[in-house]
Chains A and B, each alone.
Chain A
Amino acid sequence: MSSPTNTSSPTEPARAGAAIDVQQLHKYFGDNEVLKGIDFHVDNGQVVCVVGPSGSGKSTLLRCVTLLETPTQGKIFVEGVEVTDPDVDIDRLRSRIGMVFQQFNLFPHMTVLRNLCVAQQKVRKLSKEQAVAIARENLAKVGLSEKEQAYPAHLSGGQQQRVAIARALSMQPQLMLFDEPTSALDPELVGEVLAVMKELAAEGMTMMVVTHEMGFAREVGDKLVFMDGGVIVEEGAPAEVLSNPQQERTRAFLSKVL
């Protein structure tokens, strides 16, 4: 195989230095096995892009990491903490994992600023002043300082997604998960979101990105993972995988999207 990193077996502890360590993950929806024994890891400071055809299980894998889907079998560690342990305080853990959705999922009944502050105050128990300060810092980072009093419905899709990124960053997470962050956007709005994500990667943020943006994966990614049919078919350095895929399925997929 192209990857020398498939080291874990179900009984091993978390991989040292891994922000995310997934071991032998299986996920069923009813009788449908969507993840068929995934071994996968993201090291601290890495940007890992997961690509693959729709239905390949890439979004499910990402959603399992933050327990939006419950794994049927296998273990997941985040920052050395076992997510799949029934005793883990999932709310606490989630507050340290930033998540960005395809559909933005901003809270439509709150202003942009309130969107960024509400969880800081309710979950991290920060004072309003502290929360607002952090929120403004992150709004500035995504270039939307002037929109803090706007409601999400008054923003373009690209702006909404940038606000969603700022909202996730306001929890000061240790890693960020992106679930097809540009797939719901009009083509001309994709660039502004990717620019924010590039900046984030340049700052050293650990990122797992499910995406169809091969250009982003090549330019920013430290590792590219190609999934199909619930398994990881191939992984490696993005330039390597994109220009010289080893597996027939990878070649077939790339010839369609590139």
Chain B
Amino acid sequence: MALSKRKRAQYIRYAQYVVIGVVAVAVVFSANWGDLQRFFLNPDIIKDQFPAVITTALKNTLIYTACGFTFGLALGLVLALMRLSSVGPWRWLSTGIIELFRGLPALVVFLALGQGFPRAFPHLEIPFGNIGTVTLALGLVGGAYMAETIRAGIQAVPKGQMEAARTLGMSHTQAMITVVVPQAFRIILPPLTNELILLTKDSSLIYILGLSLDQYELTKWGREGMNSEANLTPIIVIGFCYLIITVPLSIVVRRMEAKAGKAR
């Protein structure tokens, strides 16, 4: 075999195209398209989902996620700064909180807040009902993850930045707020988006709190639809709705990264 390296690489690439093509053809011909369409993409049922799946379910998913993420981001920043503090107890406390809520399944956190808290403190109430609870639960889980990301971002900002700010007379706090943290957030934009996407899907755990019809978010909506129609089409519809949220998010972040890259 006197094949040059380049020729061989070319043949290997062709072979891969052929394999992918064969697999695709096999799937297409072996699938039962009639049943598939009936159970997953029933046009009548699709029509029935709109517009409520957007105006109620998608909207609620966005609200729950936004609330949870906002609180989580603030909490994550506080935990990260505590983690970097020179005061021992702050560090220990934040390490404890981070380990706890990063380690627990989100479902357990939802249950603890939704079922445990009212029983433990009968005279207290989490404000804003389900929205308050989902904000706390998603925020705690997301914040614990984001704290570590933010800490890494802060530590990735060159030491000279803090020194330059301090020699201009800024206090440590001023330097953090105006110089270090903004640069840290640019560095960690991609992992933060990841977290936002994860939280979008975790927001479905709110079902455990018990929801009224107008509080349905996408997953709950899809499940109820699936049960009442005895058909999987609603699940496919809400699946696409999740993609409607997450794909544009990825695109926006890619743009922001490109822009931040230019300014660096």
Contacts and interface: CB of A to CB of B under 8 A. Distances in A.
Interface of A: 66, 68, 91-92, 94-97, 99, 101, 103, 105-109, 118-119, 122-124, 151, 153, 164, 167-168, 171
B177 to A, nearest CB: 9
Nearest to B182: A109
Contacts, number: 67
A171 B169 contact: yes
Interface string B250-262: 0000000000001
B183 interface: yes
Contacts of B178: 118, 122
Q: Which 6 A-B pairs have the closest CB atoms?
A: A95-B169, A119-B168, A105-B164, A99-B167, A123-B169, A105-B160
A168 B165 CA distance: 10
A109 B168 contact: no
Contacts of B167: 66, 68, 94, 97, 99, 168
Contacts of B171: 91
Given A108-B183, A108-B263, A109-B182, A123 B168 contact: yes
A94 B186 contact: no
Contacts of B166: 68, 91, 94
Contact of B163 (A68, A108, A124, A168): A68
A167 B183 contact: no
A107 B263 contact: no
21 contacts: A66-B167, A91-B169, A91-B171, A94-B169, A96-B169, A97-B167, A101-B164, A105-B160, A105-B161, A107-B165, A108-B264, A118-B178, A119-B165, A119-B169, A122-B174, A124-B169, A153-B262, A153-B264, A167-B168, A168-B167, A171-B169
A106, A119, A164: which has the most chain B beta carbons within 10 Å?
A119
